[in-house]
Structure 1
């Protein structure tokens, strides 16, 4: 067995570990609102999210192709150490933010760890503007859309239903609807997030084979879907508490609107090949829903901590990716 093959096996293993960590790190994205509103028990919510994450992960590869071809130039990305360094950096940041209970972006952690490793390997000229710009577009627009769409949709739903029904009736109507929206949220999360790992494994396979792969191998799709589903089943209770209980006091109607808004935005981004942060989107839809109740209904101090984690992810992961690649060059 050659050294290159051993490194490839190590990278695939690391990638699946990242995917697993992504699953339990981002469990809150799919189930925090349904747990907070008591529409589903924690066990029911996690089980449903795990299944729907796997199903969503099997529905496309557009985001995977962005990661594998449009972040780092193929000539530079051919170094297996670069891929390994990016994975290690992203895993480190995911574990730090998970431990602190901060819903940061696993997606942007991976992309900008890859950018940092790419800069260390070949300078800024090694970075492909197309993919990075697409990621930054998603970074900027998806939270804004999440906030705006959820506010508008909440206003429409309140006008159509809440003004004609008693609060107890509204809750009874929207409890089953929130089960649907939570499932849709888990589906969209699997469809966007699992593809990042598919992309990184495809990038490593291309580096090993000495050519860029045009398609994502089936075994890569299946293994990434399975790893994310398993991670989701493990749960991420620290972040669930932040997202579901500390930002806004939620009711089933609120959870339905927040999840439906977020899932629609994420699913649209997946079809366009844009790697977005499911964490960013669901966080801002929750804030948008809360704002319709009045400014004081959103706990802005907690929301501020979430924003800080978002802002820190890009420079920290770029630096970590750079450092990890420099360390890998010593071996």
Structure 2
């Protein structure tokens, strides 16, 4: 194994993961901080733990897509794979760093896919799976508007339930059950066989029921201590869904750096693709966690306050809509963006209250930078790959 390129690959992957964590951490916790439910320090700790758990448990699905589903790296000469994927990681890391400095929640998946396309074009377009690229791009178009649509529909329901004391208990139980069971069922269903589905369903029901009981008892204790039933219900649910979003962030975004690194490790001699992917996922998971802790507060206010003002109920609906969208995408192996999902969720609850509740100029700026990021990282990776292969 070439130790120099191994070291460069690991450092480049860690660099991308670090920037990804720092830029995208607000996708999970920005709404909770903006709604004044969590302070920044506690929110960052929750995001770190939950995203690490998501990376380890579900990260393998999207990592496999990024590793070899877009460009056929398994049938390519090793030097091309190593230098090409290093170029992809460097292009993505630099662009994400710039986006974080500008306080814009960047879609790192768009950058990494753009970089991989640029790498593929530098070798030969025949290596690129254009069908997979098209499927991913369609998912990019669907995700923000799906999250916005779900939020737009759910907001009237939850806004009423969080205004009436008699509905507080019912809302708490139903919402906490949904929040607990969705990631559980997606983790446990490995195949579509009857035995797998039955096992996953029974286990999910048990875990969801236990989690809901714990949440309910904690809610009762807070009320006994003088808390408002409505406020405590919305606060607890928002913390739960923030953790679920951080989990889905880890499960999907770990692939941004783990996928290219896995391809590099495979090309350098780790010929068991599953082993290469797990090594890469561990490196990327640590990088994500480090980025969240060290610089994750940089753009929290963009998500939590600037797109649309948030209260605990509106923040919960935005976060739940984004989380459900992302968890399904992760399980399908689609590398889509938590930034797209949460911006869509916040946008949805904002529009449900009227266009004046949404900062349209900021949304235009975010969407414009997303559109630029694909050709930008594609061009940078293309030029870097050609330079390294000379």
TM-score interval w.r.t. the shorter chain?
Answer: over 0.9
For the pair 1:197 / 2:199, whether they are aligned, the reply is no
**Unmatched segments (≥5 aa) in structure 2:** 169-227
Over 3 Å counting, the alpha-carbon distance change for 1:294 and 1:169 in structure 2 is farther
Q: Deviations over 1:229-277 (max 9, x none)?
A: 1111113334212221211110000111111111111111111100001
* Count of matched residue pairs: 327
Question: Of residues 116, 119, 138 in structure 2, which corresponds to 1:117?
Answer: 119
Shift of 1:221: 2.6
SS class of match (2:254): helix
Q: Give the match for residue 277 of structure 1.
A: 337
RMSD: 2.1
Q: Distance in 1 between matches of 2:61 and 2:77?
A: 19
SS class of match (1:322): helix
Q: Give the match for residue 65 of structure 1.
A: 64
Q: Give the match for residue 96 of structure 2.
A: 94
Shift of 1:173: 2.6
SS class of match (1:12): helix
Q: Give the match for residue 227 of structure 1.
A: 287
Task: Answer with 270-279 or 199-208: which moved more.
Answer: 199-208
Shift of 1:164: 6.3
Matches within 5 A, 1:1-331: 4-60=2-58, 61-74=60-73, 75-76=75-76, 78=78, 79=80, 80-122=82-124, 124-162=125-163, 170-209=230-269, 213-214=273-274, 216-330=276-390
Q: Deviations over 1:61-117 (max 9, x none)?
A: 110000111111233473111011111110111111111111111111111111111
Q: Distance in 1 between matches of 2:39 and 2:311?
A: 15
Q: Distance in 2 between matches of 1:230 and 1:321?
A: 25
Q: Distance in 2 between matches of 1:62 and 1:252?
A: 32
Q: Distance in 2 between matches of 1:22 and 1:101?
A: 13
SS class of match (2:57): coil
CA contact (8 A) 2:63 2:277 kept: no
TM-score of the two chains, using structure 2 as the length reference: 0.79
Q: Deviations over 1:253-305 (max 9, x none)?
A: 01111111111111111111000010011011001011111111111111111
SS class of match (2:268): helix
Q: Deviations over 1:145-195 (max 9, x none)?
A: 011011111122124443667997643430111111111111110111012
TM-score of the two chains, using structure 1 as the length reference: 0.92
Shift of 1:143: 0.9
Q: Distance in 1 between matches of 2:274 and 2:230?
A: 49
CA contact (8 A) 1:85 1:117 kept: yes
Over 3 Å counting, the alpha-carbon distance change for 1:216 and 1:149 in structure 2 is farther
Q: Give the match for residue 215 of structure 2.
A: none
